[in-house]
Structure formats: C-alpha cells, structure tokens
Amino acid sequence: GAVVSQHPSWVICKSGTSVKIECRSLDFQATTMFWYRQFPKQSLMLMATSNEGSKATYEQGVEKDKFLINHASLTLSTLTVTSAHPEDSSFYICSARRTGNTDTQYFGPGTRLTVL
C-alpha cells in the first residue's frame, strides 16, 4: 500500500514564529500533493495544490505569503506557516497522488499545530 507520512505529528509554537510541516510519500512518487486544514469537528478544507517543480495553486481566501508551500521533489512537499498566530492553530493534513494515477489520493496522518 501507499504510505504518506507527516512530520512533526504535533507542534506547539509561540506566536510570531514560523513552523514547517513535511509531507512525504514513502513508497511512491507523487507529482501532486494537497494540503488541507481541519478545524475541530469539521470537515477538511483544501488550502492548496502543490505540483512538483512549480508554484502551488492556492484556494480562494488562503494567503500564499502566510502558507508557503514547496514541492521540490517527487516525494516531499513542505508547508511553512509563517508568523504564526493563535488562529492558525489547526490540524493540517496532506495527501499525495501517485504519479500517473489521477483517482486516488493517499492521506497523511496529520499535524496538529498549536500556536500560543
């Protein structure tokens, strides 16, 4: 099976600092990865689509300068929350689509970010 990992699984940071979250496809190559945000007891909200070697596509209302996405290789995408504030506290989930397969996305276990 395809495995997607996220690191860290949880992080607590002070307001104003930046936090980087990694998403890795462990046993397959992923040209496209997706970043989602989930508030407590709510569904997943797509933040951006990350394509290897090109700029990410952000959903409406998501600040690209605040949520920096880098997809430098076929197995790694990173999301950096810059100048984090308490309202950025959330559960961030990535998913990866295997190169050549457009139907299936494999989801990571999520990263819980708490900003104090």
Which residues, 55 to 114, sit near another protein by CB under 8 A?
91, 93, 95, 97, 102-110, 112
Applying CB under 8 A, does 28 fall inside the site for another protein?
no
Nearest C-alpha neighbor of 35 from the set 87, 91, 88: 91
Interface with another protein (CB under 8 A), residue total 26
Please, what is the minimum distance in Å from the beta carbon of residue 92 to another protein? 10
Site string for another protein, 39-58 (x = CB under 8 A): --xxxxxx--x---------
Q: Which is nearer to another protein, 28 or 36 (CB)?
A: 36
Report CA 75 to chain centroid distance, whole Å.
13
DSSP string, 69-91: EEEEETTEEEEEE-S--GGG-EE
Residue 26 DSSP symbol = S
Least gap, CB of 51 to another protein (angstroms): 9
- Among residues 84 and 93, whose Cβ is nearest to another protein? 93
- In this complex, which beta carbon is closest to another protein, that of residue 14 or of residue 41? 41
Tell me whether residue 33 or residue 84 sits nearer to another protein (CB atom): 33
C-alpha pair distances (Å), 112 with each of 2, 11, 51, 89 = 22, 6, 23, 8
β-bridge mates for residue 36, sequence order: 46, 93
